[in-house]
Chain A
Amino acid sequence: MTSPRLPRVYLPLRQLQDRIATGLITAGGIGVLLAILAIGVFLAWETLPLLALGDTFALSKLSPLAWGTLKAAIAAMLFATPIALGAAIYSALFMSARLRSRLKPALELMEAVPGVVVGFIAGLVLAPWVERHLASTLLLIVWLPFSAILAGALWHLAAARLRRRLPHSWAGLWLIPWLVCMVAVALWLAPWLEHHLLGGDLRRLLDQQYGMDYATRNALIVGIAMGFAVIPSIYALAEDALADIPPTLMEGAQALGASRWQALWKVALPTAGPGIFSAVMIGAGRAVGETMIVLMASGNTALFSASPFEGLRSLSAAIAIELPEASPGGLTYHLLILAALSLFLFTFLVNTLAEVVRQRLRRRYHRLGGRP
């Protein structure tokens, strides 16, 4: 069978198109990357006029805000880090694969809840509730870990059949109703405890005995709300780091007779340590920059106070409130841009550090024979 004749090709036009397209893509790509770079350049350029004023002035203006940012971030990290890391350890090492593949999208959705919604719930629902039930809130913080341990102890004592029905690998799910019951118990107990142990109202006690003011919207609320927002990002990265530990490593340790606890402390955490560190760093970066939650849940009072029951004002919230009113070129304008620059630099550095650490870790896993 002879081949049908193929007409002559027409090349120059195709090649011209190719050249032009390559040029355009290159120009566009570099342009986009430069536009991104322009953010840093712009912020730095606009803070230059402040140099003329000397830094003490800027410092005195911005330091309460910086303190507020730090306080909010610390509060959020105190709340989020243990929960996120605990969840990551559980889901990487113990959870059933089926539940795990469902849990990750669920927590991704948690990350997607807009800050303004979280802030609204925190500022208008949670804050007044906590103000009325301060003792219950504090009790809950102690009571919930205890109730988890209680569940574990009961489980170990329970009959084997029940244990099979409620396996530990699904505990993340069936502990939810248990926690709900425990919250109910705590709420029921708290007023009674408050009455008998503290002799009345905890808030009055704080005020009279320790001279602590209580603001409705305070660092505690910010911590809980912003903690809620950063749990998913810490969880996702830490879980990746833990789940990617080459399985041979953990099995090797347990084959040598190490308990799960020892395997976790001696093998898993040291190996995945950098990944967990970078997860926490990225969480901290998010907490420092988050605006709406702090704006809505913090009361926005620029105070120098370490009390968790007092309000604060963060850099980001100050920018959001004051910048639209500041006249361009004025002093406040430049100061607020300095605030934005410091946020930019801080988060950029933290994220770069985290990324570098993460890549190191990935290479290390690769060497150890895990997934690439």
Chain B
Amino acid sequence: MLAPLTSAQSSQTPVITFAPEQCCLSINQFHLAYAGKPALRDLTLDVPRHRVTAFIGPSGCGKSTLLRAINRLHDLNESVSHRGYIALEGQDIHAPQMNVTELRRRVGMVFQTPNPFPMSIYENVAFGLRLQRRLPKRKRDDIIEWALTSAALWDEVKDRLHRSAWQLSGGQQQRLVIARTLAVQPDVLLLDEPASALDPISTLKIEELIRNLKSQLTLVLVTHNMQQAARVSDYTAFLQNGELVEFGLTDQVFTNPRLQRTENYITGRMT
């Protein structure tokens, strides 16, 4: 009953658009395949600057794949092929003059499971800084304190900066990873289900952190938790089977979805 309706509507997906100067990331006709098997199909959407944009969708729909594409992490995997266009602040990220190392500094990424390096807390945050030009220690300490404060972790770890990062709890580790990313001052922060492995209290802390951070940078949040998307994001995109189904203001997508498919997914999961 629904099938013809959906396929008929897929050519005219309800997608909110933004003026170019409001756009931080813009994805255009992006297509990606793992060893010939498509994971993203002709995706087109804009991510607004200094807002939180949530990607939701059933698992395997390509959310992580999309985030990794924005960071060009797929360069490490030879079996991935892609076409189409992703632009960061108007520059094509796949353009030859685009420096992938610099791109990855500008686009921070936080993974589903916290992955602090086996070093001290201090060294974890200093990692990205040390890659850049040498800084005087004072200056570096300032940046580290700022990054840990922004990640709401400073008060918890300021007495044990030189202890191993692996001794922190899962939630602290995830915030440490966020601090580590913030320290290199990215323009965009991509969060791939950052709270899915955490307890409820840590989850709340991360959510609050996300809300606070949007004054400084653009955030993209992947989550399978509908309430979380509703709580923290300004815009929500719903993906299915590697396709964009619906993209709009979070309130509108959750309370008044344009498409039956979206509503099914949201209500099906929420009840």
Task: List the interface of chain A (C-beta within 8 A of B).
Answer: 1, 3-4, 6-11, 14-15
Contact = CB atoms under 8 A, between A and B. Distances in A.
B142 A4 contact: yes
Contacts of A1: 146, 149-150
B52 to A, nearest CB: 18
Interface range on chain B (Cβ under 8 Å from partner): 10 to 19
B101 A7 contact: no
Secondary structure type dominating chain A contacts: loop
Contacts of A9: 102, 105, 132-133
Nearest to A10: B133
B189 interface: no
Interface string B189-208: 00000000000000000000
A97 to B, nearest CB: 27
A14 B143 contact: no
Contacts, number: 34
B135 interface: yes
Contacts of A6: 129, 132, 143, 184-185
Contact of A3 (B131, B132, B185): B185
A22 to B, nearest CB: 13
A1 B133 CA distance: 24
Given A6-B143, A11-B101, A14-B131, 9 more contacts: A1-B149, A4-B143, A4-B146, A6-B185, A7-B133, A7-B135, A9-B105, A14-B101, A15-B101
Given A1-B149, A3-B185, A6-B184, A11 B142 contact: no
A73 B238 CA distance: 68
Contacts of B11: none
A3 B146 CA distance: 7
Contacts of B105: 9
Indicate the member of B102, B131, B132, B184 with the most A CB atoms within 10 Å: B132
Contact of A7 (B132, B146, B149, B216): B132
Nearest to B145: A4
B103 to A, nearest CB: 11
Nearest to B142: A4
Contacts of A14: 101, 131
